Structure 1
């Protein structure tokens, strides 16, 4: 843009008609950017099929009009607040992502969403201000022609001087950061993460086998064979279809266990459901499980339709979605159109580090009221005060949590 629209060659005195065109174009582009900020959603395909490119073009138009000395929009947008933010905009750009990632990984933001939004904004502005005052502005004013002389003078300064202390501290920080970046493994996982990944793979295999009748029969046979050893091992980590084992593990009656074995069930969901696949199959041995990591409502309609076309959508359908992003009513309506007149058991979510937790749970409550055949299973209320049921991400259940999850699911279905 600097080559095709050089501000030094643009005239301040231009015809009123040209000024009017520039001002209308600038205001229109600004309004379009505001609308894009409000309505453009990363859940939809539009941003990835030209939407982001269009926003870039509109932004370029706004910058071009603002840079023109003959347009009025530059004067309209000039004020102390914008000037302050403009000087620190690069710092805001650099620090916003790490601040949000670190903050939301440690703080439960689902409740009091706007409070945490303002706290994060405050932290971003604080980091940007410190960076501007102590890094960007000093470096901008630094006389680089005297760099070598300043370095030599630094070595002769007293050890307890401010300049010496700042220099040593800066060197230590840079050295540690450089070493850390150099030796840090790219795909390192701790023991808990490795264990969780192994469990996910094992449950994914079990879910895939649930769609194959022959493999499922073999799985049931192996589970029955393992029941003799069930009482001698940790019951949480032992999987068996033995009636006494299932009754004790999931706090079910013998009648409930018997009815569960004759219940046609399809469970469809994300990684929270996936992690509980083997638990669900203990209670519902013939259940068909279709779950995957990162699954959301907006990409589930086609997957459910495939299950339906393959004859794998049973009379009772469990939906366990909403942990990975915002859901809306239209998306849920599309799912219900595919499911038809089947019974739906809708599991709500517990994602305390994400803003969409409460919004999705409110939507699911609304959907239970809207559809007579939908039964809401309130996993959130049961689990929210039991942090010990969850892994460090506070979303995926541990052995204890998966048993509680499955027990709640079974009791609601068999009620």
Structure 2
């Protein structure tokens, strides 16, 4: 009998040993006694990273995919606190923290640093080899990434997550890793103090939730409706609540003390809570976007709580839903989620044409995903997992052994083949897929987003001066060389062309400094009564199926069938820097029109602009609005604009083509609001500019002379339609 009992105990011990060996630090846990490896959490991690990947590939497919990062935060808070508070402390029976903080931080470094260093090195090499190099931005981004302070670097340098014309930084996504690493440094010390002074885990969890509430309240307090929310989106202080909610869960729901067997009723309750949480997260992921006020005024706080409920269910061995999330494909992806997150954004940024007027092509998306998964798998197999198990010295010794022992040379062909395949993929993307294939030329008119990121970034302060000082031509069409302007403060000076994305003026144009001498203000408004340049040239534009031919003639001052607005005395045009790009052409066609453009203008700014123009007597009965280049807007903001335009007889809304995540959100919002007011007409610049790469500067947003002429002709055609 005793021998039989020993055999049973021995088999169970063997099973625990096998589970012990199978544990993986990709789930952020140490190899400690009495700990289960919760594969269901790997499944949750897989769904979260897939949501992020889809969001960055095509935002319109999953507008709230960025919420995967919020789930990661809560999951990390739970797992890290479960390691610290419920590891050896549970075994010792005490309430104090027994695990060495030094050991914890060393293990965190082993887990996180190697793969990140490889990614940063690869990004620098890729940027150096690329035709359009982001190396100037990387000079600051790389040190910030290595020090895990990317989020604060972006905050203090005014690098927006939501508004930018410059190319997104390939390291922009590391802001979230910076938030987590800062938490890993500070939280163990705070937890040790809490465990020492507060013996009750429930009471300590209450204090932690109090800190989380303070963080969420700070987010709501700092957030300003209608402004760029990057400060609250990046900040450790304003995103810490998600990590703290996960930490509070670990204090009251330790994985090592959850019962293996539960009643049928308890199992049903667990699964019901898990399914409700999963449905809610799915709903928010599908219906949210980064510009919702709801998110920053309690929404993300609620999402963190719902995520915590799902984590609690998946962590419990008595839940059936945990078994569903333990499917092998999900576990495989979940264990490599860290590598997938590290690699996906640089791969997309370095293989997506900056000038991508046609949108994304399925072949490019497939190759980007394939390259991401191959790199993440290779990183996990040959870097992350060996270093996790053996440390840096053991990993180096293993490499040496692999090179010296004949029996292990068989591994080298596979590694070499993978490396070659990776190079072939990148070469194919860059060399053999022309822009016309990489960006489809679909002219269906449906709004869509080109491939880009949840984190896009504004040019650094030292790179924005050329746009800040841009002085649009008072009259006349934009031309490749600078023109003399007459009248006003700009008499006898030259106007500069739009700058390229690196902050420099195009070759052959006037410098930004000279341009700023023409007009120091960011805002520029022209109207009837200003001296007009005497030009006899007709406005010209390339012929295409999307462009009218007969409407290219400038007005003779009288309304006609072709030009019912005459000199434009009944037109007010309001916009952002794109309006400044077309100002010269539009002013020539409609000399008496009021044209008011400003760099960086948002829809939230328009009610004040309309009030000012109305007070000045310059708000006419036909209003053209060109906005959305700098970011999306809410339906509430758009309704405020329409309320300010209650006396307008006709409103033209120009949709946008901007290779940024908010493109589809802007165009869909304009389509939606147009159905609510008979005065509104949509001017479809998105369709007209599809595939027309020659229209745009390097940033894919601002217009070259050819694009400005085409834009003006499209507006004239829309204005001529009654």
TM-score, length basis structure 2: 0.42
Please state if 1:47 is matched with 2:295: yes
Contact 2:629/2:656 (<8 A) preserved: yes
Please state if 1:241 is matched with 2:532: yes
SS in 2 for 1:275: helix
Distance 1:358 1:151, change over 3 A: closer
Please state if 1:293 is matched with 2:600: yes
Q: Which residues in structure 2 correspond to 1:189-200 (within 5 Å)?
A: 198-200=466-468
Q: Which residues in structure 2 correspond to 1:112-131 (within 5 Å)?
A: 119-131=367-379
Q: Which residues in structure 2 correspond to 1:203-352 (within 5 Å)?
A: 203=471, 221-222=487-488, 241-245=532-536, 247=538, 252-253=553-554, 255-256=556-557, 261=567, 263-282=569-588, 283-284=590-591, 287-293=594-600, 295=602, 297=603, 299=604, 302-303=607-608, 306-307=611-612, 310-311=615-616, 312-324=618-630, 335-342=641-648, 343-351=650-658
Q: What's 1:210 paired with?
A: none
Give distance in 2, aligned partners of 1:149 and 1:126.
25
**Stretch of structure 1 that moved more, 241-250 or 146-155:** 146-155
**Matched pairs, number:** 368
Q: What's 2:109 paired with?
A: none
Q: What's 2:254 paired with?
A: 6
Q: What's 2:268 paired with?
A: 20
- Residues 29-83 of structure 1 show CA distances to partners (whole Å, capped at 9, x for unaligned) of 2222111111222121111122122212221221122112233321232211211
Out of 298, 309, 322, the residue aligned to residue 74 of structure 1 is 322
Q: Tell me, which stretches of 5 or more residues in structure 1 are unaligned? A: 171-185, 207-218, 228-235
Give distance in 1, aligned partners of 2:611 and 2:333.
50
Give distance in 2, aligned partners of 1:405 and 1:31.
44
Contact 1:276/1:402 (<8 A) preserved: yes
Distance 1:148 1:116, change over 3 A: closer
Q: What's 1:100 paired with?
A: 348
Please state if 1:91 is matched with 2:359: no
**Stretch of structure 1 that moved more, 247-256 or 145-154:** 145-154
Distance 1:139 1:146, change over 3 A: closer
Out of 392, 402, 405, the residue aligned to residue 708 of structure 2 is 402
TM-score, length basis structure 1: 0.68
**Stretch of structure 1 that moved more, 144-153 or 26-35:** 144-153
Distance 1:11 1:204, change over 3 A: farther
Contact 1:265/1:284 (<8 A) preserved: no
Please state if 1:60 is matched with 2:308: yes
SS in 2 for 1:276: helix
Q: Tell me, which stretches of 5 or more residues in structure 2 are unaligned? A: 1-77, 86-250, 420-458, 475-484, 494-508, 519-530, 542-551, 560-564
Structure 1 or 2: more helix by fraction:
1
Deviation at 1:15, TM superposition (A): 3.8
Q: What's 2:380 paired with?
A: 132
Deviation at 1:142, TM superposition (A): 3.5
**Stretch of structure 1 that moved more, 23-32 or 360-369:** 360-369
Give distance in 2, aligned partners of 1:407 and 1:108.
22
Distance 1:285 1:114, change over 3 A: same
SS in 1 for 2:702: coil
SS in 1 for 2:373: helix
Relative contact order, higher structure (CA 8 A, sep 6+) = 2
**Stretch of structure 1 that moved more, 247-256 or 262-271:** 247-256
Give distance in 1, aligned partners of 2:264 and 2:401.
59
Distance 1:113 1:57, change over 3 A: farther
**Stretch of structure 1 that moved more, 256-265 or 46-55:** 256-265
Superposition RMSD on alpha carbons, in Å? 4.7
**Stretch of structure 1 that moved more, 254-263 or 13-22:** 254-263
SS in 2 for 1:314: coil
- Residues 74-115 of structure 1 show CA distances to partners (whole Å, capped at 9, x for unaligned) of 123221121111111111222232233334444748546777
Distance 1:360 1:50, change over 3 A: closer
Contact 1:267/1:288 (<8 A) preserved: yes
SS in 1 for 2:289: coil
**Stretch of structure 1 that moved more, 117-126 or 62-71:** 117-126
Distance 1:340 1:115, change over 3 A: farther
Q: What's 1:30 paired with?
A: 278
Q: What's 1:230 paired with?
A: none
Give distance in 2, aligned partners of 1:388 and 1:109.
9
SS in 1 for 2:703: coil
Give distance in 2, aligned partners of 1:310 and 1:125.
58
Q: What's 1:202 paired with?
A: 470
Q: What's 2:695 paired with?
A: 389
Give distance in 1, aligned partners of 2:534 and 2:582.
19
SS in 2 for 1:50: helix
Distance 1:104 1:271, change over 3 A: farther
Give distance in 1, aligned partners of 2:329 and 2:381.
17
Contact 1:88/1:132 (<8 A) preserved: yes
Deviation at 1:378, TM superposition (A): 4.3
Give distance in 2, aligned partners of 1:123 and 1:130.
11
Give distance in 2, aligned partners of 1:224 and 1:89.
56
